[in-house]
Amino acid sequence: MFKTLSILFAAALVILFSGCRSTVENNDRTAVELCRYMMQQTGGTYDGAMAVEPIHADEGFALKVANRQVAFYKFNTKYKKARAKIEYVDKNGFIYIYGFKFSAISRGSFIMVDYEDNPLKDKLLEAFNNF
């Protein structure tokens, strides 16, 4: 009887956790922290705030890296819609902003947009993935 219950419990745990996606917990970090970190790691410069309404983010900013603009957005992952937006980026590798398709990648609560054609793409990805 105990062995049967143990097997059922283990199976329930496997089923429960198989649907969970592995995510970085950085919702407590701010866009300002990311901005400073990315400037330090890539040599980029602050290029201004980004409109957050088109993608329903909480905060957004752009950096000029290798003379090209790269955008960053912060989402509050406590909200279902924000998590859905991040999962969409994870699944598809892009996001639409004002009807235009941009390459995108997520890291916890943050999304980096339009990095794909940047000459420092590898440096951007390394820095972003280590934040």
pLDDT along the chain (131 residues), means of 10: 45 39 78 98 98 95 98 96 96 96 97 97 98 94
Cβ atoms of residues 113 and 71 within 8 Å: yes
Using only the alpha carbons of the chain, give its radius of gyration. 18
pLDDT (0 to 100) of residue 9: 44
Whether this model's pTM surpasses 0.75: yes
Give first-to-last CA distance, the chain, whole Å. 48
Measured N-to-C along each axis, helices 121-129 and 31-42 cross at an angle, to the nearest 10 degrees, of 140
**Measured torsion, CA atoms of residues 117, 123, 127, 130, in degrees rounded to the nearest 10:** 110
pLDDT (0 to 100) of residue 23: 62
Q: What is the mean pLDDT of the chain?
A: 87
pLDDT (0 to 100) of residue 22: 44
Q: What SS3 class is residue 64?
A: strand
